Amino acid sequence: MSQKARAPKRKSEGSGNEKSDTSQEDDSKTKSFTAPKSQGKRNPQEHKNKSKVISDASSSETSDVDVKKRKLQEKKDVDVNGGLLEAVKKSRLSVATSVSDFKFNKKRVRLVSAEENLKDDALGIVYWMSRDQRVEDNWAFLYAQRLALKQKLPLHVVFCLVPKFLDATIRHYGFMIKGLQEVAEDCKGLNIPFHLLIGYAKDVLPDFVKEHGIGGVVTDFSPLRVPLQWVSDICKRLPEDVPLVQVDAHNIVPCWVASNKQEYGARTIRRKIHDQLTQFLTDFPPVITHPYKSNLKAEPIDWDKCYASLEVDRTVKEVDWAKPGSKAGMNTLHLFISVRLKFFNSDRNNPNRQALSNLSPWFHFGQLSVQRAILEVQKYRSKYKESVDSFVEEAVVRRELADNYCYYNKNYDKVEGAYDWAKNTLKDHAKDKRTHLYSLEQLESGKTHDPLWNAAQLQMVHEGKMHGFLRMYWAKKILEWTSSPEEGLRFAIYLNDRFELDGRDPNGYVGCMWSICGIHDQGWAERAVFGKIRYMNYQGCKRKFDVAEFERRYHPKKFPA
């Protein structure tokens, strides 16, 4: 894949005397670099002295401050004041006063459209927010503001609210909409209009761009097929003179940079990610109050009306343990660091202990940056080395491995997406006799012969979260108790996406595929039904933790129908 990229300048203007990310720019020349371009798009023609939607940028993100001294002061701020939010605000300002003064890593950005030139008469830049639903610590938002500041244009944020999405219920939509309300308020305070468009992006965003003279669109990245299709549809329907770029604001090492192929497992991607963390695991500059006002004001949003208009199942109720929004996500991060981090390595596989981060809902909806979480957690490595290293392995290596799998394997939620050895062994044992067979309704209600499985299912149904260790056991038993691997995988994904707050996520798909189809795993001793897929059983769980305690906590009698 190849991509032409240039520093942003208007078609009829030079860059003036503004500082670039790497050097002082000349009025008449623009330094160029090569960066990845999305597959399937024709190469844009080169134009001299024209504004480019991807600008010159550094290959690393640094600032002139004493990094060690700053990090020690940040840790002191959090420890003494207990104010992670305030400490992080200071941290951003110590990195740079704004993204204009920050060395933005060009590898985070890729050109999606054929056009790369910003038109002369542009009236604004749009950040089309999708996966990463936050203002701060958002590389896509920062890149959009960087572009708008350089071109002296207003910045707009657009979110397209679809009436339904896969198996999402009101539990998921409620969490998302409340988070978006916070985004809208934050944008308002920064002089950045937030526009909530109702409908699919392909039907509403192109008209918005045309009607309001938008010069360029920046969006974030998801590896899943539906969001990828949204981006493809928008690229086809945008005016030909409006460039579209994509920024991976979810992964620390951008998915297309970490690897250009599907990785076999954690052992093959771990080194590739760790080798690039020094380049990408940097602190964020702040999003600033935008200095260029727009004549286009954001329409008032009737959030209750939006909520009522959704075409989703409302029987799966919202949960009260997880408060939506970035501020709540930061508070949960602070609680994890101050209370549970010390126990993470030793107790994370014990469902009866409070040792997990519980951050997955905020990560999934992009309300909290994984990169921010890692930056904060790593400050405690000298104190809790094993726990910090384990958290980095799960939140960075395993999470980015999941994005890698979903991006490079179009069958990420089907048995066809498994390795050949796994497909063959599952086929060989497809007709093996099952000791128990359950319908989807029985599984959904937690009415099996296994009290541990039922307890895990009820935890997920009522709390929107199942303990990570039990997710593996839960999915493997579905393989054992259904008529075929295909049915088992379909049931597991449906239940996960319906009840888990972080459903419809690469981690969820990979979790089901690991459990049922051996993805990112190896062959084990062959047995009935499972073949060579790794086996888990009730007795094994009893050796890991007090099963009876967990079963009592989530006994069916505590959840009357």
Q: How far is CA 99 from CA 57, 58, 63, in A?
A: 11, 13, 11
Give the pLDDT score at 419.
98
Residue 52 binned pLDDT confidence (cut-offs 50, 70, 90): confident
Above 90 in pLDDT, residue 23?
A: no
Give the pLDDT score at 546.
98
Residue 29 binned pLDDT confidence (cut-offs 50, 70, 90): very low
**pLDDT digits 0-9 by tens, 160-172:** 999 999 889 999 9
Give the pLDDT score at 104.
97
310 contacts 206 by C-beta, under 8 angstroms: no
104 contacts 54 by C-beta, under 8 angstroms: no
Give the pLDDT score at 50.
61
Above 70 in pLDDT, residue 250?
A: yes
Above 80 in pLDDT, residue 384?
A: yes
Contacts of 279 (CB under 8 A, 6+ apart): 59, 60, 61, 105, 107
Contacts of 450 (CB under 8 A, 6+ apart): 477, 538
For residues 500 and 477, give the distance between their C-alpha atoms in angstroms, rounded to a whole number: 18
As a whole number, the mean pLDDT across the chain is 89
397 contacts 270 by C-beta, under 8 angstroms: yes
Above 80 in pLDDT, residue 265?
A: yes
Give the pLDDT score at 55.
58
Average pLDDT of span 546-561: 94
Give the pLDDT score at 344.
98
For residues 357 and 391, give the distance between their C-alpha atoms in angstroms, rounded to a whole number: 9
Give the pLDDT score at 330.
97
Give the pLDDT score at 6.
40
Average pLDDT of span 361-366: 98
Above 60 in pLDDT, residue 174?
A: yes
| Complete DSSP assignment for 449-466 | S-HHHHHHHHHHHHHS--
**pLDDT digits 0-9 by tens, 390-422:** 999 999 999 999 999 999 999 999 999 999 999
Above 50 in pLDDT, residue 32?
A: no
For residues 385 and 378, give the distance between their C-alpha atoms in angstroms, rounded to a whole number: 9
Above 90 in pLDDT, residue 425?
A: yes
Shortest CA distance to 257 belongs to which of 248, 244, 265, 246? Answer: 248
Give the pLDDT score at 60.
52
Average pLDDT of span 24-46: 38
Above 50 in pLDDT, residue 365?
A: yes
User: What b/e readout covers 40-67, taking b as 16+ CB neighbours within 10 angstroms?
Assistant: ebeebeeeebbbbbbbbbbeebebeeee
For residues 474 and 550, give the distance between their C-alpha atoms in angstroms, rounded to a whole number: 14
Supply angle C-alpha 250, 255, 261, rounded to 5.
Answer: 155
Contacts of 83 (CB under 8 A, 6+ apart): 77
For residues 345 and 74, give the distance between their C-alpha atoms in angstroms, rounded to a whole number: 24
In degrees to the nearest 10, what's the CA dihedral of 280, 286, 287, 291?
-130
Residue whose token pair is 């999915």: 475
**pLDDT digits 0-9 by tens, 369-379:** 999 999 999 99
109-111, strands of its sheet edge to edge: 109-111, 244-247, 214-219, 124-129, 155-161, 194-198
| Complete DSSP assignment for 512-542 | HHHHHH-TTS-----BTTTBTS----HHHHH
